[in-house]
């Protein structure tokens, strides 16, 4: 199959939850409009940010169906879903479901309990899942900080190349720029290498990245559009300054407990996606007020996503 390279910002959406911790898919149409109006070109659902590992099989299907029904009339907005990584049969079932409801593509991460002992075994796992939907773009999700599986991705491409026609590329959420560049240049740039570290986007752009998947694109897309524009114009001073603002924003994630802090950013832009499920720690009311002050201090209001289209 022809491998399309995606461009621009692809958000990794939070899965909306109600006060009782149940799914709240009624927010997804508004969520899509928020992303679309801020120039985001797609959604990578049920990933780390989307709590895919905390969702049941039925819940993952429900989330995928909500996004499919919401975005089905917009071929320019690409939605792919993370299938999981521990149970191959479940991943195959979710992949076939994604194809049936009309999603753009699917993604799979390394099995992280019984870990593959070699790149060859990881490639076999990818082929088993990709083979269930041979006409759908398949992406491997490389996030060794969470999976503990840290093979060089250039070795995975070498093992996959020519054996899995619908292997489209890799969502690369790691800091190995040597490996990333080798993947970008492999087979004259055949594979789509989506960058997955928002805090180092500028470095990835310098290497040739064209598309990125990120959680902070949900609530700060204008910041990254300005960064990309500055880089494209050769204004590295401005681009570096904008990347630093991204870093300042992301440092607050760590200060206030990690990934769940992203949902607090979403509350500040007017979209309450609820809390993260156990065992992730959520922010209490007192910390939220401290967080609100820290967010104001970094000038979040000047670059946050808004419901109306951002003017250049």
Angle between helices 177-185 and 153-160 (to 10 degrees): 30
Model pTM score: 0.95
Q: Of all residues in the chain, what percent carry a pLDDT higher than 70?
A: 98
Give the Cα separation of 92 and 15 in Å (integer).
21
Q: Which of 47, 45, 46, 38 is nearest to 9 (CA)?
A: 38
Q: What is the mean pLDDT of residues 251-263?
A: 96
CA distances to 48, 226, 246, 253 from 239, rounded to whole Å, are 27, 8, 11, 22
183 phi/psi in degrees, rounded to 5: -70, -40
HEC per residue, the chain: CCCCCCCEEEECCCCCECCCCCECHHHHHHHHHHHHHCCCCEEEECCCCCCHHHCCHHHHHHHHHHHHHHHCCCCCCEEEEECCCCCHHHHHHHHHHHHHHCCCEEEEECCCCCCCCCHHHHHHHHHHHHCCCCCCCEEEEECHHHHCCCCCHHHHHHHHCCCCCCEEEEEECCCCHHHHHHHHHHHHCCCEEEECCHHHHHHHHHHCCCEEEECCHHHHHHHHHHHHHHHHCCCHHHHHHHHHHHHHHHHHHHHCCCCCHHHHHHHHCCCCCCCCCCCCCCCCHHHHHHHHHHHHHCCHHHCCCCCCCCCC
Residue-range domain boundaries for the chain: 8-302
Over pLDDT 90: what percentage of the chain?
96
Residues noted as catalytic: 141, 171
Residue-wise pLDDT for 155-204, tens only, equals: 999 999 999 999 999 999 999 999 999 999 999 999 999 999 999 999 99
Interval 3-22 mean pLDDT: 95
HSE-CB for 36 with a 13 A CA cutoff: 16
- Tens-digit pLDDT profile for residues 92-151: 999 999 999 999 999 999 999 999 999 999 999 999 999 999 999 999 999 999 999 999
Torsion of CA 276, 99, 75, 227, to 10 degrees: 40
> 8: which residues sit within 8 A by CB, 6+ positions away?
39, 40, 41, 42, 211, 212
Say which CATH class 8-302 falls into.
Answer: alpha beta
308 pLDDT tier (thresholds 50, 70, 90) = low
Instruction: List, for residues 24-67, the tens digit of each pLDDT value.
Output: 999 999 999 999 999 999 999 999 999 999 999 999 999 999 99
What was the pLDDT predicted at 263?
A: 97
Give the residues across from 192 on adjacent strands: 169
Structure tokens at 121: 């075994």
**Distance from chain centroid for Cα 78:** 12
């Amino acid at each position: 199959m022809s491998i399309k390279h995606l461009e621009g910002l692809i958000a990794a959406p939070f899965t909306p939850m109600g006060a009782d911790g149940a799914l709240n898919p009624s927010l997804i149409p508004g969520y899509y409009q928020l992303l679309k109006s801020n120039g985001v070109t797609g959604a990578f659902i049920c990933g780390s940010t989307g709590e895919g590992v905390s969702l049941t099989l039925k819940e993952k299907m429900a989330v995928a169906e909500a996004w499919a029904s919401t975005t089905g009339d917009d071929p320019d907005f690409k939605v792919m879903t993370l299938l999981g990584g521990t149970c191959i049969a479940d991943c195959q079932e979710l992949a076939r479901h994604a194809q049936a409801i009309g999603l753009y593509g699917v993604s799979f991460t390394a099995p992280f309990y019984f870990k593959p002992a070699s790149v060859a075994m990881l490639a076999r796992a990818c082929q088993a899942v990709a083979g269930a939907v041979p006409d759908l773009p398949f992406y491997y999700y490389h996030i060794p900080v969470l999976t503990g599986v840290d093979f060089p991705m250039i070795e995975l491409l070498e093992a996959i190349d020519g054996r899995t026609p619908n292997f489209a590329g890799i969502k690369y959420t790691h800091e190995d720029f040597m490996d990333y560049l080798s993947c970008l240049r492999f087979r004259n740039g055949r594979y789509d290498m989506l960058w997955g570290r928002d805090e180092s986007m500028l470095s990835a752009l310098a290497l040739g990245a064209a598309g990125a998947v990120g959680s902070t694109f949900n609530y700060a897309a204008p910041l990254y559009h300005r960064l990309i524009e500055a880089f494209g114009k050769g204004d590295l001073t401005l681009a570096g300054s904008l990347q630093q603002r991204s870093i300042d924003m992301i440092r607050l994630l760590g200060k206030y407990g990690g990934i769940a802090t992203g949902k607090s950013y979403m509350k500040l832009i007017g979209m309450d996606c609820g809390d993260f499920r156990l065992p992730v720690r959520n922010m209490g009311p007192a910390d939220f007020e401290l967080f609100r002050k820290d967010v104001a201090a970094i000038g979040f209001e000047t670059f946050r996503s808004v419901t109306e289209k951002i003017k250049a």
